[in-house]
Amino acid sequence: MTVIRGLEGIIATTSSISSIIDDSLAYVGYDIDSLAEHASFEEIVFLLWNRKLPIDIELRKFQQELAEHAELPDSFIEQLKIMPLKQVHPMAALRSAVSLLGVYDESAELMDDKSNYLKAVKLQAKMPTIVTAFSRLRKGLEPIGPRKDLSIAANFLYMLTGEEPEPIAIEAFNKALVLHADHELNASTFTARVCVATLSDIYSGITSAIGALKGPLHGGANEAVMKMLTEIGSLENVDAYIKEKMAKKEKIMGFGHRVYRKGDPRAKHLKIMAKKLTDLTGESYLYDMSVKIETMLKQEKNLVPNVDFFSASVYHSLKIDHDLFTPIFAVSRVSGWLAHILEQYDNNRLIRPRADYVGPERLAYIPVDERS
Ligand code: COA
């Protein structure tokens, strides 16, 4: 048996959702650069689920459908209030809340296409409301319900603060959602597919995916980047900080990637947005520090930033709490998880690899009172 650690380079499925070819990312054949420039997040969700961009009437109907399911029932908000709000990490809260949504959905166990599609709409629509409600509840504030006239990006920022966001904030947030929506067979998407390939339900698939995204080697990296930037504090400290990390052979969060070699095509869009926003907020030192770190890592280790590196200063500039960065990743990536779950159901086979056993063999059982 040849063991491929981390399943690197293993092709585990066919998929028609997103592709990474020669360091270029495309959703259903549309290059990420043009989508990041022009598309709304709602168009992207439609694209991932239907493998085509919507025409005007389809988009409006889809937005309406999402808006109809975005509210959380009062009884569900009461359940959120029971959580130890001050100490729980928002990703743990989101993981539990999504699992709870499944408990209250009477159609949770129905596996026909129509029921599964409706569950996908409910999850996509409700996740932004859950994250923002949690954020307010832990500050002792009442949640603010979604508005039907706002986009998902604008609604998220509105539900967080109660104020209608500036156009630049909506543009940045929408771009971030578009860029995070899907990424082929990344760890959390694979987790979702493994889960539902047992023919388990959609809520179980998304709950498992949130658990996988939470880790700092995956979605948790964006929060860790902000922690690092805060620890460094100023441009003069970058050199010593990074050199010390490298000397200790510690990883620098927001750098490196399993699949990309030349660079993550999503990072440049967030870099431009980070520059614009940090100039506006008067915190351009964050951008300058980031660029210095980028230059050092390129020179010293030939490592380039991934999607998490500049998204950290983008979200920080939008005045979002740092521990909400990864839940925001989930609010976007749930669109991709759902597309992959539906694709898995359409052509399912149990995912069950093998392990090369390296432990002891042929041991004789000794009763407990005779063991030394
Ligand atoms: N900082 C410093 N060195 C890094 C690094 C980083 N962020 N990412 C990779 N490397 C180095 C490793 O130390 C290793 O060097 P070595 O061969 O001398 O031991 C080499 O590059 C390969 O790294 P490895 O961890 O085996 O790559 P991987 O494909 O298993 O992991 C990541 C990919 C993304 C998990 C990894 O790059 C990483 O941990 N990055 C930081 C976390 C992060 O930003 N995650 C978000 C991904 S979108």
Per-residue model confidence as pLDDT tens digits over 121-146? 999 999 999 999 999 999 999 999 99
Three-state DSSP class for residue 361: coil
CATH 1.10.230.10 segments of the chain: 221-317
Determine whether 357 is exposed, middle or buried from the number of CB atoms within 10 Å of its CB (0-12, 13-18, 19+).
exposed
pLDDT at residue 117, as a whole number: 98
Ligand 1 pocket test: pick from 25, 179, 217, 226 the residue with the most ligand atoms within 8 Å of its Cβ. Answer: 217
Determine whether 155 is exposed, middle or buried from the number of CB atoms within 10 Å of its CB (0-12, 13-18, 19+).
buried
- CA within 13 Å, CB half, 189: 25
pLDDT, one tens digit per residue, over 170-228 is: 999 999 999 999 999 999 999 999 999 999 999 999 999 999 999 999 999 999 999 99
* CA 251 to ligand 1 centroid distance, Å: 7
pLDDT at residue 245, as a whole number: 96
Fold classification of 221-317 (topology level): Cytochrome p450-Terp; domain 2 (1.10.230)
Ligand 1, atom 42, residue with closest C-alpha: 217
CATH 1.10.580.10 segments of the chain: 30-214+327-346
What is d(CA 213, CA 143) in angstroms, rounded to the nearest whole number?
A: 25
pLDDT at residue 261, as a whole number: 84
Closest CA to 67 of 136, 143, 126, 133: 126
Pocket of ligand 1 from Cβ distances under 6 Å:
6, 217-218, 221, 251-258, 301, 303, 306-308
pLDDT at residue 110, as a whole number: 97
**Residues recognised as catalytic:** 257, 308
pLDDT at residue 153, as a whole number: 98
Give 3-state DSSP helix, strand, coil % of the chain, rounded to 5.
60, 5, 35
Is this model's pTM higher than 0.95 or not? yes
* CA 255 to ligand 1 centroid distance, Å: 7
* CA 258 to ligand 1 centroid distance, Å: 7
Determine whether 186 is exposed, middle or buried from the number of CB atoms within 10 Å of its CB (0-12, 13-18, 19+).
buried
pLDDT at residue 301, as a whole number: 93
Average pLDDT, the chain: 97
How close are the terminal C-alpha atoms of the chain, in Å?
35
Residue ranges in the chain modelled with pLDDT below 50: none
* CA 250 to ligand 1 centroid distance, Å: 10
30-214+327-346 CATH pick, 1.10.560.10, 1.10.580.10, 1.20.1740.10, 3.40.50.620:
1.10.580.10
pLDDT at residue 1, as a whole number: 79
